[in-house]
Structure 1
Amino acid sequence: MKNVLEYLEQSAKLYPDKTAVLDPEKSITYEELLHNARRIGSFLSEQEAPRRPVAVFMDKSVEALTAFMGIVAAGCFYISINMDQPPVRIRQILETSNAGSVITLGEDRNVLKEAGYVGKCFDYHEMVKHEIRETALREIRNHSLDVDPLYCNFTSGSTGIPKGVLVSHRSVIDFMEYFPDLFHITEEDIIGNQAPFDFDVSVKDIYSTLKTGAAMVIIPKRMFSIPTLLLDYLCEQKVTTLIWAVSALCLVSQLKGFTYKVPDQINKVLFSGEAMPVKQLNTWKKYLPDARYVNLYGPTEITCNCTYYEIDREFQTDEKIPIGKPFPNEKVFLLDEEDKQVTGPGINGELCVAGTALALGYYNNPEQTKRAFVQNPLNNHYLELIYRTGDLAFYNENKDLCFAGRKDFQIKHMGHRIELEEIEMAMNSYPSMERACCVFDEKRNRITAFYVGTMDGKELSEKMRSTLPSYMIPTGFHSLTEFPITPNGKIDRKKLLEMCI
């Protein structure tokens, strides 16, 4: 197998009339999804060469997922652009990716113009009317490779420009060979999609669905601010499987959603993105005691996840839930500061990953790619690339890995990896700002900005919303006359953290 379209083709053959994907407005069967994807692929084959990026600028929906598959049918790779982002960031993604084509639903072209996009813009509704070019699609497939790029997800970058993580067909196929089987996801499941399509958590929803012949229910973002509406929808759609960010699960439990209704068809709850508070996990287990609960860990650069831990006992509220053991066909290990392997319990090391699941690097960014994807220092005999995550971890007494924070100023917040330097760069760019520094309080899950300048916190927050996504806006702002300094002349971030309490 070398192309993810084989998942769709197989499921369309086995379950042609079964609903593959639905959102609150519409649904599509497997046969229709394949047919429409081939129409879009035929259209694009006249516009773009294989292995070129094509952006999808629309909210997550049946149409968006169909567009992804159409882009793949054309031999190209897709970039999902979240419409909630400010125009400046949309422009940065389009410029970094150099995408020459964007697919929209038609009415969103003005937003792209505002973002400064001057490339080709295609209306989805027109594309799905195009005739299928059998010969062209067959030629594209015949010349495709399993290492061809499949998608590019943009994450925060320390230079102030988003980084595009480029992932191949082979990496997704490798991960999907094990993921659904490990957690018993089958054609009988209904997967409730929470994650935005530009967030790699959604990759597990999409390809678990297509591989197994399951159904995927797209849950709109607005429902996550109204727990009663969300729980009604989960019950109505008889959702069985949640592969959600921790923050989404906590929203339900913190707002006491289960006192309103319990979606008792749910039998699998897989979570990732940040540390799951034991108190919130226990609330879920109280109301859905028979479900399987799994903690997943892994950055975008290694295709979704590299370790997992199935919750097999009760945890106390002050305990840390392990991130567990490696997925099959992934090597996960720890290196100390001298690049020696850490094997003993309780000793922190940088978490590193090797295997087929590694991404192709950062698109149009060879410098940062070389810094993160490097030769394994434990192997000087042949080429073996590893990804250095920048995350610290240690082994517990049961030889399970446990997350222990970051080596640098990158953080995990609201399920997203964020470079604090990017937030600081935005603040430092303002004329009335002399210097800015951000810290992250892990226990309270808060980003706090400290600065020397004349702007007030409200003004700063409003200005930052014009260039940064909402999840990167600090919760608190503190004006200082000067920064505390360490003996070696650096900003004393530890003291700043103490000032947050």
Structure 2
Amino acid sequence: MTADIIKAIDAIATKTPNAVAYNYLGQTNTYAELKQASDAVANYIDGLNLAAGSPIMVYGDQTFAMIAVFLGSVKSGHAYIPVDQHSPNDRLTMIQKIAQPQLVIAVKPLPIALPAVDILDATQLQIIFHQAGNYQLTHAVQGNDNFYIIFTSGTTGQPKGVQISHQNLISFVDWMVTDFDLPQQPISLDQAPYSFDLSVMDLYPTLVMGGELQVLPKEVTDNFKILFATLPSLSLNVWVSTPSLVDICLLEPSFKQENYPALTHFIFCGEELTHQTVAELMGRFPAAQIFNTYGPTETTVAVTAIKITAAILNGYQHLPIGYTKADTTIQLDQVNAENQMGELIISGPSVSKGYLNSPEKTAKAFSTTNQQSYRSGDLAIIDANGLIFYKGRTDFQIKLNGYRIELEEVNHYLNQQVLIKQAVAVPKYNRQHKVTALLAYVVLQVDDGRSAFTVTKDLKQQLQQVMMAYMIPQRFVYRDSLPLTVNGKIDIKALIKEANAND
């Protein structure tokens, strides 16, 4: 059992200071360097006399400096809010407005000015990193204190800040270390952006075990040619990603066991793991263990898991999401008598206390009886043995390439565009009912005679200013009008059926 995340990582630095903690495409940093840098950040933050427990916004990408700042923040008693440098400017200002941080640490240069807040820039940060001193952990984050706050998609253009406490994180990390048969000192893939909670699945289990994080940054994964050239340089034991990333890697014939002999674990989360993906992966890596996991951000990354064996693969066309972790309870609410399907209600020590500075949204989704509970909005069936099968959403929330997207949020931004009179986003599914693309059905304000290609290009450029790239629809379909329900609302279900009619 892990008593304290920070103390566990610092203990590695004391025991094996020269062990590599972070490997960015061959540029390495040791545990001693991680402790030194995070201690220096904590000492600097203490000198600012921030309000006790106030969060710190951290802006940047996948670098050692980000990890050092995360740990330095929590050492000084402050949760960190990771914000990816690829975020649109509006998202920065909305997060600032909701979280009200007194300090922003800009590991990468901020694209806009953030008023009424102290900014620590990258140049100052590098100076601080090299300041000597052995920091004393007298007021670090602990217990129910927030460890990190991740902002997810919201329904009206307003993101929600999910508060994850030190206690929540310990529950998750202990489960990962105990139940996944991880190698000692694992060498783990670090690919997910730090603003995406999937990153926590490799970050903290690896560090508390004294392992090594091998980074696969966005500029590599965005270019298949560079990705396929980079993969052989990795010496991984543990692969953590969405299924979408491994699907891309499987396009490369050399991605197989004999070329990656140390790769023993594949752990997937963030979206549906299909039968087809596992079958292909088992053929390529017959000696590796493959795990499917499930969990909302609000319950600390994941709360169910199952090792996909040949028997599981042969027994189920739609793979189960697993069994509930030991310290957690999952029940079904509003069970349909015909198909025994209901909404997953998750209770346990890894369930968040709620959304930051948003009591109304918190009250709607969370409750407390004996334990903190979260109403997931996910539909599922639980068999007699406790095995859980995911069956979709109660609302119009989807997962695309591992990212959780509220269709209402996409619609909100679409309908703000001056060119658009009316628009709605709908998912495109493949035969495994996995979302492969987002389509926008659009009625323009005026048909000015321009081609659909030109209009779409203009719209995408405008949307890039206000939306995360993964939320922007891949295809735009232009209509004179959109179908309506008997209540006069856009008939989204009809459009979903139309978008998937040829499948």
Q: Would you call these one fold, judging by a TM-score over 0.5?
A: yes
Distance apart, 1:425 and its partner CA: 0.8
CA RMSD of aligned residues (A): 2.4
Aligned partners of 1:138, 1:201: CA distance in 2, in Å?
Answer: 28
**Tell me, what secondary structure is at the counterpart of 2:376?**
strand
Quote the offset at 1:24 in angstroms: 2.3
1:231 and 1:261 in contact (8 A); partners too? no
Alignment correspondent of 1:10: 11
1:268-283 aligned within 5 A: 268-283=265-280
Q: Which residue of 1 aligns with 2:407?
A: 420
| Residue equivalent to 1:335 | 333
Indicate the residue corresponding to 1:304 in structure 2: 301
- Which residue in the other structure is 1:433 paired with? 420
TM-superposed deviation, 1:418: 0.9
Deviating more after overlay: 13-22 vs 302-311: 13-22
Structure 1 residue 206 corresponds to structure 2 residue 208: no
8 Å contact kept, 2:155–2:406: yes
* Unpaired segments ≥5 residues, structure 1: 376-381
Deviation for aligned residue 1:273: 1.0
Q: Give the Cα–Cα distance (whole angstroms) in 1 for the partners of residues 326 and 230 of structure 2.
A: 34
Identity value in percent: 27
Aligned partners of 1:21 and 1:62 also within 8 Å:
yes
**Cα distance change of structure 1 residues 488 and 218 upon mapping to structure 2, 3 Å threshold:** same
What's the secondary structure of 2:461's corresponding residue? helix
Q: 1:356 aligns with which of 331, 349, 358?
A: 349
CA contact (8 A) 1:42 1:131 kept: no
Partner Cα separation in structure 2 for residue 329 and residue 108 of structure 1? 42
1:326–1:383 distance in 2 versus 1, CA, 3 Å = closer
With normalisation by structure 2, the TM-score equals 0.90
Shift of 1:234: 4.1
Q: Which residue does 2:451 correspond to in 1?
A: none
* Structure 2 match to 1:151: 148
1:452 equivalent among 439, 443, 451: 443
Q: Residues of 2 paired with 1:63 and 1:261: CA distance?
A: 34
2:366 maps to 373
SS at match of 1:152: strand
Q: CA deviation at 1:284?
A: 1.5
Q: TM-score, normalised by structure 1?
A: 0.90
- More displaced, 436-445 or 408-417? 436-445
Select which of 230, 233, 238 maps to 2:235.
238
Paired with 2:310 and 2:26, the residues of 1 have a C-alpha distance of 40
What does residue 388 of structure 2 align with? Answer: 401
Q: CA–CA distance in 1 between the matches of 2:437 and 2:17?
A: 47
How far did 1:183 drift? 1.2
Q: Which moved more, 1:160-169 or 1:220-229?
A: 220-229
Taking structure 1 as reference, are residues 8 and 345 closer, same or farther at Cα in structure 2, changes over 3 Å only? farther
Q: Is the partner of 2:84 in helix, strand or coil?
A: coil
Distance 1:254-1:454 versus aligned 2 partners, 3 A rule: farther
1:492 aligns to 2:491 (yes or no): yes
Deviates more, 1:451-460 or 1:167-176: 451-460
Q: Structure 2 unaligned segments of length 5 or more: list them.
A: 447-454
Q: Is the 8 A contact 1:186 1:213 kept in 2?
A: no
Q: What does the per-residue CA deviation read over 1:219-269, in whole Å, with 9 as the maximum and x for residues that have no partner?
A: 111222344644554443311101111111111114545389832321000
8 Å CA contact 1:153–1:199 kept in 2: the answer is yes
CA distance in structure 2 between the partners assigned to 1:404 and 1:475 by the alignment = 25
The one-letter code sitting in structure 2 at the alignment partner of 1:391 is D
Tell me the distance in 2 between the aligned counterparts of 1:452 and 1:246.
Answer: 34
Question: What are the Cα deviations for residues 423-476 of structure 1, in whole angstroms up to 9, with x where unaligned?
Answer: 111111123422222211232522111122237333222211111011101122
Q: Which residue of 2 aligns with 1:321?
A: 319
Residues 174-213 of structure 1: matches in 2 within 5 Å?
174-213=171-210
Cα gap change, 1:56/1:356 in structure 2, threshold over 3 Å: closer, same or farther? same
Paired residues of 2:21 and 2:213 also in contact (CA < 8 A):
yes
Q: Quick check: 406-415 or 440-449, which moved more?
A: 440-449
